[in-house]
Copies of this chain bind each other. A is one copy, B any other.
Amino acid sequence: MYRFTNDYSEGAHPQILELMARSNLNQEEGYGNDSLCRQAEQLLKAAIEDERAAVHFVSGGTQANLIALASMLKPYESVISAATGHIFVHEAGAIEATGHKINVVETPDGKLTPDQVRQVVAQHTDEHMVMPRVVFVSDSTELGTTYSKAELESLRRVCTEKHLYLYLDGARLGSALVSAGADLTLPDVARLADMFYIGGTKNGALLGEAMVICNEALQADFRFHLKQRGALLAKGRVMGVQFVGLFSGGLYFELARQANAMAQRLAAGLKALGYAFLTDSTTNMIFPILPNPLIRFLESRYAFYVIAPVDEARSTIRLVTSWATPAEKVDEFVAAVKEWCERSAPCN
């Protein structure tokens, strides 16, 4: 059964594996002090156009988020997040386990606005409450949407004005930056965020996220945080070599483009059949709203998540594509929907 469940169903892109095999028997320093991590670091600094940034590699997104936030926050400080934020729902309380509250904001599309940030700050007036200190955004968001350059700049402004740090979860940053209509670039992100990470796991790597600390005041002693949270891999090289593979040519963005193209091909097929979507996604995750009997029919052939009922007759599902998704599988899926439509007409 083919899976549109997520973008981490396959292993690594073959070029990555090849590179790993090629350097496999070279002796290297441990714990990320190896030549591969150094090379990846240089490639990333070039890609973000910021030589003063600090770069570290960790094995997953939850780990990246919990270490980043714990490193930025004093015990009584909190982080502002959309209610759909990965840290709020899907990290098993990892942020709270480091001692910090998440101030949550409801949004229609997974995107925080400056006004929402201002409002949260305004509500926190004294020492009986936490003190908001970091704004957490994801790009692309958990709903497949993306921030424009103007939107991220306006968040940066409110952060500067209110003495907040801006942190960006880039688990799917590649997909966001190459999505249709996107005007945000990697150097923009590095200029606007105090810290962010560039996701490898969901874009061609076996494992690995590149944490980028742009704000120099946050760079000191970061490896202590990594070690203390169990994130300093003895063979850190395994992450270094993958980011060398992703960033030494254009592989990173090429894979993201391919993932997006497949999701948008899927979206176009469903739109043509008249289906609506929960959000206006331009990335590799789409949220079509389908009749429940159609969903049951599709579940017999494909794996995917049903997110939530929309009304009595319909529910939102999530379809995710990756660099490894073949166009035929996309076309087969659309054909299956069409088949059901014809049998059960009308489609909705």
- Residues of A in contact with B (beta carbons under 8 Å apart): 2-3, 5-6, 8-12, 14, 17, 20-21, 23-31, 58-67, 70-71, 74-76, 78, 89-94, 96-102, 104, 127-131, 201-202, 206-207, 221, 223-235, 237-238, 324
Contact B128 A92 (CB under 8 A): yes
A20 CB contacts on chain B under 8 angstroms: 11, 17, 206
A9 CB contacts on chain B under 8 angstroms: 27-30
A3 CB contacts on chain B under 8 angstroms: 27
Give the number of times this chain occurs in the complex, counting copies: 4
A91 CB contacts on chain B under 8 angstroms: 128, 227-228, 230
Distance in angstroms from A34 CB to nearest chain B CB is 9
Distance in angstroms from A8 CB to nearest chain B CB is 4
Q: Which of B21, B26, B75, B238 sits near A21, CB closer than 8 Å?
A: B21
13 CB contacts below 8 A, A to B, read: A9-B27, A10-B24, A11-B238, A31-B128, A62-B230, A63-B231, A65-B230, A66-B229, A76-B227, A92-B127, A201-B233, A229-B230, A230-B231
Given contact pairs A11-B238, A21-B21, enumerate 9 new A-B contacts (beta carbons under 8 Å): A2-B27, A9-B29, A14-B24, A76-B221, A76-B225, A78-B93, A92-B228, A97-B229, A201-B233
Contact B221 A233 (CB under 8 A): no
Contact B8 A24 (CB under 8 A): no
